[in-house]
Structure 1
Amino acid sequence: MKKKLIVLATLMAIVPSAFAASGPQDIIPVPVKYEIFMEEYFPKVDGSDVRVHLGDKRFLKEINSLNIPEFARNEAYKLAVGKKGIDIFAVSEAGVYRAKTSLGMMMDKDSILTRCVILDYPRFRHRGLMLDISRNFRDKDFILKQLDAMAAVKMSTLHLHLTDDAGWRIQIDAYPELTRKAAWRVGRNFEEWRELGRQYSEEGSPLASGGYLTKADVKEIVEYAAARHIDIIPEIELPGHSGEVLAAYPELACLRHDGGRRISGDLCPGKDKTFEMFERILDEVIEMFPYEYVHIGGDEASKSGWKEGPVGGDEASKSDGKSVRTAATVWKPNILRMWMNCKAIS
Structure 2
Amino acid sequence: MRYIYILIFLGFVSFPGKAAINSQSELADFAKGAELWFAVESNLLAEPSTFSGSISLINNSAQALPAGNADWQIYLHMVRRINSTEQAGLTLQHIQGDLHRISPTKNFKGLAVGETLQLNFQSAPWIISYSDFMPRAFIVAAGLTPEIFANTDTEEFSHFVRPMTEPRQLLRNIGNGDKFATMTDQQRYRQNQTADNALLSNAELQRRIVPSPAKLQMFDGNIALSSKWQLHLSAELQHEGRYLQQQLQQYFGSDITFAQTPGKQQIKLKLAAPHPSLAAESYQLKIRGNVVEITGTDKAGVFYGIQSLLALLPVRDQATTPVRLPQLFISDQPRYRWRGMHYDMGRNFHGIEVTLRLIEQMARYKLNRLHLHLTEDEGWRLEIPGLPELTELGAYRCFDLTEQHCLLTQLGTGPHPSGSGNGYYSREQFIQLLRHAQAHHIQVIPEIDLPGHARAAIKAMESRYQRLNQAEQPEQAAQYRLTEDHDLSDYLTVQNYNDNSVNVCLESSYQFVDKVISELQQMYLDAGTELTLFHMGGDEVAKGSWQGSPACQQLIAKPDNGINSVDDLKPYFINRVAQLTAKRGLALAAWEDGLMATAAQPFARKQFQNPQVVVNAWDNIWEWGYGDRAYLFANAGYNVVQSPGTNLYFDHPQEAHPAERGYYWAARSTDTEKVFFYRPDHLYHNAEFTRDGTEITDLAALLGRELPQLEKPENMLGIQGQVWSETIRTAAQLEQMVYPRLIALAERAWHKAGWEPDKTSMAARADWQHFSQRLVSHELPRLQLTNSGHYLPPPGAIRDNGKLMANVAWPGLIIEYSVDQGQSWQHFQQPLTASAKQIWLRSKLGGVTSRIIKL
Aligned amino acid, residue 391 of structure 2: T
Matched, 1:271 2:488: no
Contact 1:37/1:116 (<8 A) preserved: yes
Give 1:244's aligned residue: 456
- Once the two structures are TM-superposed, the CA of residue 344 in structure 1 deviates from its matched residue by 7.7
Q: Distance in 2 between matches of 1:337 and 1:56?
A: 39
Q: Distance in 2 between matches of 1:100 and 1:33?
A: 16
Q: Which deviations, in whole Å up to 9, do the C-alpha atoms of 1:71-109 show, x marking residues without a partner?
A: xx2311111111222112222222221111111111135
Aligned to 1:42, what secondary structure does the other structure show?
strand
Greater helix share, structure number: 1
Q: Which range moves more in the overlay, 297-306 or 164-173?
A: 297-306
Contact 2:490 2:548 in 1 (8 A): no
The match for 2:303 among 97, 114, 117 is 97
Is the partner of 2:546 in helix, strand or coil? helix
Q: Check the 8 A contact 2:219/2:327 in 1, yes or no.
A: yes
SS of match in other structure, 1:225: helix
Note the C-alpha offset of 1:282: 0.9
CA distance in 2, matches of 1:196, 1:344: 36
Q: Select which of 258, 272, 280 maps to 2:515.
A: 280
1:36-55 matches, within 5 Å, as 36-48=218-230, 49-55=265-271
Q: SS state of the match for residue 223, structure 1?
A: helix
**Aligned residue number for residue 343 of structure 1:** 585
Identity %: 25
- Larger deviation: 138-147 or 330-339? 330-339
Pairs within 5 Å for 1:1-346 = 20-21=202-203, 25-48=207-230, 49-56=265-272, 64=276, 67=277, 73-109=279-315, 111-186=323-398, 193-194=410-411, 205=417, 210-250=422-462, 251-253=481-483, 256=486, 263-289=498-524, 290-311=530-551, 315=555, 318=558, 323-325=565-567, 327-328=569-570, 330-343=572-585
CA positional deviation for 1:47: 4.0
C-alpha distance in 2 between matches for 1:302 and 1:140: 32
For structure 1, which segment, 127-136 or 73-82, has the greater mean C-alpha deviation from structure 2 after superposition?
A: 73-82
Change (3 A) 1:81 1:344: closer
| Worse-matched range after superposition: 293-302 or 103-112 | 103-112
Q: Which runs of 5+ in 1 are unaligned?
A: 1-18
Alignment partners' CA distance in 1, 2:296 and 2:419:
53
Aligned AA for 1:298? G
**Which residue type is aligned with residue 225 of structure 1?**
A
Amino acid at match of 2:502: L
Q: Using the TM superposition, name which of 217-226 and 108-117 deviates more.
A: 108-117
CA shift, 1:325, in A, is 3.0
Map of 1:9 onto structure 2 = none
Q: Which has the higher contact order (CA 8 A, sep 6+)?
A: 1
Q: CA deviation at 1:286?
A: 2.1
What one-letter code is carried by the residue in structure 2 that aligns with 1:140? I
When structure 1 is superposed on structure 2, of 41-50 and 82-91 the one drifting more is 41-50
The answer (yes or no) to whether the contact 2:229–2:267 under 8 Å persists in 1 is: no
Residue identity in the other structure for 2:580: M
Structure with bigger gyration radius: 2
Measure how far apart 1:38 and its partner are: 2.4
Return the alpha-carbon distance in structure 2 between the equivalents of residues 53 and 311 of structure 1.
60
Helix, strand or coil: the match of 2:383? Answer: coil
Deviation at 1:284, TM superposition (A): 0.6
Contact 1:271/1:313 (<8 A) preserved: no
2:216 and 2:574 map into 1 onto residues whose CA distance is: 51
Q: Report the Cα distance in structure 1 between the residues aligned to 2:382 and 2:358, rounded to whole angstroms.
A: 18
Alpha carbons 2:489, 2:548 under 8 Å: kept? no
How far has the Cα of 1:28 moved from its partner?
0.6
Aligned residue for 2:210, secondary structure, equals: coil
Counterparts of 2:531 and 2:433, CA distance in 1 = 13
Alpha-carbon distance, 1:317 to partner: 6.5
- Mapped partners of 2:523, 2:208: distance in 1: 37
Alpha-carbon distance between aligned partners in 1 of 2:442 and 2:484, rounded to the nearest angstrom: 39
Q: What one-letter code is carried by the residue in structure 2 that aligns with 1:253?
A: T
Tell me: CA distance 1:105–1:35, structure 2 relative to 1, closer, same or farther (3 Å): same
3-state SS in 2 of match to 1:103: helix
Provide the aligned C-alpha RMSD in A.
3.5
